Structure 1
């Protein structure tokens, strides 16, 4: 494959690449400088790859620039206050989006969210556009 598609920087997405050993094998051949596995451990990363594929096919590889990511969360950096203000302005109520497998709310306040993170009842929090993980992950 490398003879047909020589590359030094490889990005992968999709659940199969959650396999650490597979990622190590992809990174092992001489000449591979970097391997990135998009953090969504399902097919949520596939649209990013599709967009990059379309862009390079239509604009050429030289138009693609690589920049270091400052975080792995995409979207606008809305704060809780922004969301509450928008809800009031639009007449919508803000609902908790943290539910367990039984569709029961897990947390109702920021303090409960932090405690749930500390207790390993949730894997991460998304706060102001970034992700917060428990210490040690």
Structure 2
């Protein structure tokens, strides 16, 4: 095998290693390790803005008293370049008070209904259930607060 052939092979191997390393670091950037659950679906339409889906994200935080932060997003459908955007983002549950599991969502023509269930952070035996209604335009109605 000639020196030139060996150089090409080593160059290709090095290129593969660089791509692998870039892929691994990109995966770390795309998904926050504290994200516990993401549920997306449904359909909304807003005049002058466009249309898209709802997305609920549950993020775990803390280490001694683990709690959840829950955010609702209105995700605009991908544009001609294939890029989606978040149009509205509303915090449904602030971190520090409750630890909840994956959200349950029912979708309808008028929006989405979100149910969260879990426990109070500082009273682990105390169960909580929260209900929210989402509508186009970033509108949220609290149907049942977590502490009620």
Q: How would you bin the TM-score normalised by the shorter chain?
A: under 0.3
Structure whose residues are more often helix by fraction = 1
User: Which structure has more strand as a fraction of its residues?
Assistant: 2
TM-score normalized by structure 1? 0.19
Give 1 or 2 for the bigger CA radius of gyration: 2
